[in-house]
Structure 1
Amino acid sequence: MVLKKSEPAINQQLALIQCFATKATQDMFATLPVIDEPQKHLSAAVSWLKRAHDISLDDGVSWGYSLKGGWRTSYRETSGYIAVTFFNLAQQLNDNDSWDRAVKIARWLCDIQNSDGSVSNTRYSSEGIVFDTGQVLLGYVRAYQETQELCFLQAAERASDWLVRVADSSGRWTRNTHLGIPHVYNTRVAWALLELNALKSKPEYLQVAYANLDWGLSQQKNGWFDQCAFTADAAPFTHNIVYALRGLFESGIIQKEQKYIDAAILGSEAMLAKMHSNGFIPGQIDSSGKSDESYCCLTGNCQMAVLWLKLFELKGDRRYYQAALTSLQYVMSCQDIQTSDLNIRGGIKGSQPIWGKYTRLSYPNWATKFFIDGLLMLIKTNV
C-alpha cells in the first residue's frame, strides 16, 4: 500500500524547493540584496529571531530554519545566550517584549536543566555537555542579574558545580565534550564560570576556569589555534575561532588578566589580515593560517565584528571599528529583508554561499543572534 503525502506536507516541500532555488540563484550569480540602514537590518533580524522563538512548541528558541526540512525544534545551548541578547535588546531599545521573552527562555532553561546541574543536547543523548552547559550558564547569570530571582542563581550554581565536577585532575574539560575530545573554544565556558564567580565566588570556579584558559593559550600559534574545531582532524570554522577568542577576551576583562586579552588581540589581528576588502572572511582557517576561501561562515563574521568593537572600546584603534563595520556590511549584503518568505526574511544564513560547509542550506538562530549583537554595538558606538 502506498501512502499519499498530505497536502500541507507537499506544499511545505514545494516551498522549500522554491526557497532553495531562489537563494541558490542569488548566491551563484552574486545577486545579493542591497544594503540598507543598519537599523532596518537590525529590525528585520530581531523579527526573525522572535519568529524563531514563537514557532517553537515550548519556550525555547528554534534551532533555526533549514531548506532541508523547515523549522527545527528548540536548541537549548543557543537559547541560553539568546536570552542575553533579548535582555540587551530590552535595555538598548526599550523593548519590553524582548525582556519578557528573555525571562521566559530562562525559566524554560531552568525546567530542562538535568538533576546533576548539566544541560544536554537531546539530539545526541541525555548526558550533559560542557559547552552547552556553559552557554546556558550565561543565560542563567544574566537572568538573575536582571530579575534578582533566586531560582536563576541556584540554576547557575548547579551548572557551575557540575562543570567543576566533570573537569579532569588538571582542571581541564576533556570529557563530557562534543565527540569526547577537548576544544579550545571551551574558553567561552570558562568565561561563563567567571561571570558566576563574580557574583558568588568559589576557589574551584577559578581553578577550573584558569586551567582551561591557560590550556587554550598553549594551543595558540601566531593567532590561530590547534584543537579548536568540532572534530579533531578539521580546520576550525571562524565561528569556533571567535568563540575561543571571545572567551579569552571576556575572561581577561573580568579577571584583569592581560595575557588573555593579549591572546584575543593576537587572534583578532590575524583575522583582520584575512578579511577581504568587501568584508568576506574565509570560512575555515587552520593553525598554520591556511584558509578555505570558497565560502564565508557568516556567524564568524558577526562574532568577529563584536570582538573588534570591544577592542575599539578598549584601545580606541579605529582599525577595529572599520573592520567591524566592513564585516557587518558584508553580512548585511547577504541578509534578505525584502522577501515575502517570513521563514527567511531577516535571518542570517550559516554560510555565504548558502551551500557552504557551515550549517549548509540553513539559517541557524545563533547567526542572527550574533548579527544582532554586532549591530547593537555598532549603532551604540555611532562613530
Structure 2
Amino acid sequence: MKTFTIARILRATLHSQSSRAAYWRAATLVREIGALFRPCNQAFRRQVVKEMSAYLILGTRPIEGEVQIRMRSAVDWILRAQAAAGDGGVALGYFPCDDGAAGWRASYPETTGYIITSLLAYASRFGDAGVAEAAMRMAYWEVSVQMASGAVQGGALCPPERQTAAAFNTGMVLDGWCSAYVHSGDSRILEAARSAADFLVQDLDDQGFFRTNGSFVSTGEVKTYTCLCAWAIYRFGDITNEERYHYAAVRIIEAAVRQQQPNGWFAHNCLNRSDAPLTHTIGYTLQGILEVGMLAGRSDFISAVERTLVQLLPRRSVVGYLPGRFFADWEPACFSSCLTGAAQIAIVCYRFADHTGKLVYREHADQLVNYLKAHQQMQSDNPAMEGALAGSYPLFGGYMRAGYPNWATKYLLDALMLQGA
C-alpha cells in the first residue's frame, strides 16, 4: 500500500469520529484484547495470532475445490447459531471477547430474515428436510416478533417498548418470508409478508428513498444500500401478481442509480461513513440493482452494475484480498478486509456472469471465494467457530471486530452455492 494511501486512511479515520468516540473505541479494543487471555478463549486466541501472522508476514494461500463440504460446514454453523439463540431466530454472531463467557449474541431479526432464503435454497438443492425445517422455524419466529406496523426492528432482538423500525431490516425479512411462502404456501407467512411490503412501499419518499432508516445507522442522509429491499418487494409482487410492488421496486432502484458517480462509486452508501463505504454496503447496492434489473428487464440497471465492477475488481490482490472500504476514487480506505463484502461482491459477479455470459466475472468471483475459503474455520477446538467466517481479516480489523457475525457465513454459503452450480 502506498505511503500516501496509508496517511490518507489514518487522517480520514481520525476525522470520522469525535474525540469521545475515539476514546471509547480505544477502550473497547483494549478490553477485547484483554479478553483474548481468558482460558475459554484459547482457540480464538490461536486463530487471532495465526491470522495476524498471515496478514503481516506469511500471506494467504487460496483454496480451490472443497465446495460441498464447506457449504455443509457453513450450514452447520448457522444451525448452531440458531440453537444458541434459543428462540427460533439466529444469534447475531459469536463474539468471544464480549463481556460474559458465552460469546453468542441475541437473535438478530434482520439477518435471520435473509438466512431463511439461503437455507431453503440449500435444502432444496440437497434434499435436506432438516435444514428446511430449521429455516421455517426462523420464518415463524420472525412472524412472532414483527412490529404492529408491519416493520421489523433494527438491531438485535429487544423488548417491544425499545424497538425502533428500520426499513432495511424489514426488506431483509420480507426476502425470507417470500422464500418461506414459496416453500410452504402458509397464509400466515403471506400475511406477514404483505404487511412488511406495504410498510416499505408507504415508507418511500417522492424520490424513491426510504424514510425510516432506524437508530443503528448515521442520520441526516439517504441510505443508497437500502435499495436491496427492492429485490424483496419485486419478489413479493411476483408472488401476489400485483404490479404496484413491481413499480415501487423499480422506483427504488432508479433512485439508487442516481447516486452512482461516473466512475461507478455510489454516494450515501454506508452505515456510518459515506466518504468511505464498506464493500458490505457496496455489495448490497449492487445486488439490489442487478437482481431487479434482471427481473424487470432493465439493461440500464445491468450496465450500472458493470460500471462499478470494472472499477472495483482491479483493486483485488492477486490472491483475492479485497480492501474493506473505498474512497470515492476507489483507493482503499482501511487496512483490513470486510470478508462479508468480499463474499457479496463474488455473488454479484457470479450472477452477472450467468446473466450476461461474460465469464471473466465468474473467474473474478472464483478468486474471491477461494480466498474466503482460506479464512473459513474448518477445524477448531471451539465448535462456536467451526464453519464460520469472521467479520474482518485480520480478526481485529475494522468490520465487526473480533468475531463471527452470522451474515458473513450466510453470504459465504450463498457464494459457495453459486461456485458449485
* TM-score, scaled to structure 1: 0.91
2:218 alignment counterpart: 179
The residue aligned with 1:102 is 135
One of 249, 273, 276 as aligned partner of 1:209: 249
Instruction: State which of 45, 64, 67 in structure 2 corresponds to 1:21.
Output: 45
Cα deviations across residues 162-193 of structure 1 (Å, max 9, x unaligned)?
A: 11222224442133443343111111011111
The structural deviation recorded for 1:233 is: 4.6
Alignment equivalent of 1:259, drawn from 300, 316, 319: 300
CA contact (8 A) 2:61 2:319 kept: no
Counterparts of 1:24 and 1:351, CA distance in 2? 11
Q: Map 1:190-269; keep pairs closer than 5 Å.
A: 190-202=230-242, 204-221=244-261, 222-269=263-310
- 1:352 maps to which of 393, 413, 418: 393
Letter in 1 for 2:94: Y
Distance 1:172 1:28, change over 3 A: closer
Q: Are the aligned partners of 1:225 and 1:286 in contact in 2 as well (CA < 8 Å)?
A: no
Aligned residue type for 2:93: G
| Counterpart contact for 2:325–2:333, Cα < 8 Å | yes
Whether the 8 Å CA contact 1:166–1:176 is kept in 2: the answer is no
Query: Displacement of 1:289 after TM fit?
Result: 1.1
Give the CA deviation at 1:152: 1.2
**Matched residue, 1:8:** none
User: Residue 314 of structure 1 aligns with which residue?
Assistant: 355
Given residue 118 of structure 2, which amino acid in structure 1 is its aligned partner? T
CA distance in 1 between partners of 2:76 and 2:213 (Å): 35
Q: Residue by residue, what CA displacement relative to the aligned partner does 1:225-274 show, whole Å, maximum 9, x if unpaired?
A: 11001125541110100100000000111111111111112222222211
What is the deviation of 1:100?
0.5
Within the alignment, does 1:165 sit opposite 2:202 as a pair? yes
CA contact (8 A) 1:57 1:73 kept: no
1:154 to 191, 195, 216: 191
What is the distance in 1 between the residues matched to 2:174 and 2:340?
21
**Inter-CA distance 233–187: structure 2 relative to 1 (3 Å threshold):** closer
Q: 1:92 aligns with which of 125, 128, 153?
A: 125
Counterpart CA distance in 1 for 2:69 and 2:228 is 30
Local SS of the residue matching 2:94: strand
Deviations 1:83-124 (A, max 9, x none): 001101111111111110111111111111111100002558
What SS class does the counterpart of residue 340 from structure 1 fall into?
Answer: coil
What is the CA-CA distance between 1:16 and the residue it aligns to?
A: 4.9
Alpha-carbon offset, residue 13 of structure 1: 7.6
- Give the partner amino acid of 2:252: N
Residue identity opposite 1:72 in structure 2: R
Please point out which of 272, 277, 282 is paired with 2:323: 282
Does residue 79 in structure 1 map to residue 112 in structure 2? yes
Contact map agreement 2:231 2:288 (CA 8 A) in 1: yes
Paired with 1:279 and 1:162, the residues of 2 have a C-alpha distance of 40
Q: Which residue of 1 aligns with 2:163?
A: 126
CA distance in structure 1 between the aligned counterparts of 2:376 and 2:353, rounded to whole angstroms: 25
Cα 1:33/1:14, change in 2 over 3 Å: farther
Pairing 1:294-373 to 2, within 5 Å after superposition: 294-373=335-414
TM-score by length of 2: 0.83
Gaps of 5+ in 1: 1-10
CA-to-aligned-CA distance 1:313-355 (integer Å, 9 cap, x gap): 1122221111111101111111221222111111000011011
**Taking structure 1 as reference, are residues 12 and 319 closer, same or farther at Cα in structure 2, changes over 3 Å only?**
closer
1:138 lines up with 2:171 in the alignment? no
Secondary structure, in 3 states, of the residue corresponding to 2:68? helix
- Structure 2: stretches of 5+ with no match in the other structure: 1-34
**Residue range with higher mean Cα deviation, 184-193 or 308-317:** 308-317
Please give the secondary structure, in 1, of the residue aligned with 2:291: helix
Which residue pairs with 1:7 in the alignment? none
CA distance in 1, matches of 2:393, 2:53: 12
Match of 1:111 among 113, 138, 144: 144
Report the count of equivalent residues: 370
Comparing 168-177 and 289-298, the one that deviates more: 168-177
CA distance in 2, matches of 1:157, 1:175: 18
| Matched letter for residue 192 of structure 1 | A
1:62 and 2:99 are equivalent in the alignment: no
8 Å Cα contact 1:33/1:334 also seen in 2? no
Give the 3 Å change call, closer, same or farther, for CA 161–354 of structure 1 in structure 2.
same
- How high is the sequence identity, in percent, across the aligned residues? 29
Alpha-carbon distance in 1 for matches of 2:62, 2:171: 37
CA-CA distance at 1:38 after TM superposition: 2.1
Inter-partner Cα distance in structure 1 for 2:285 and 2:115: 18
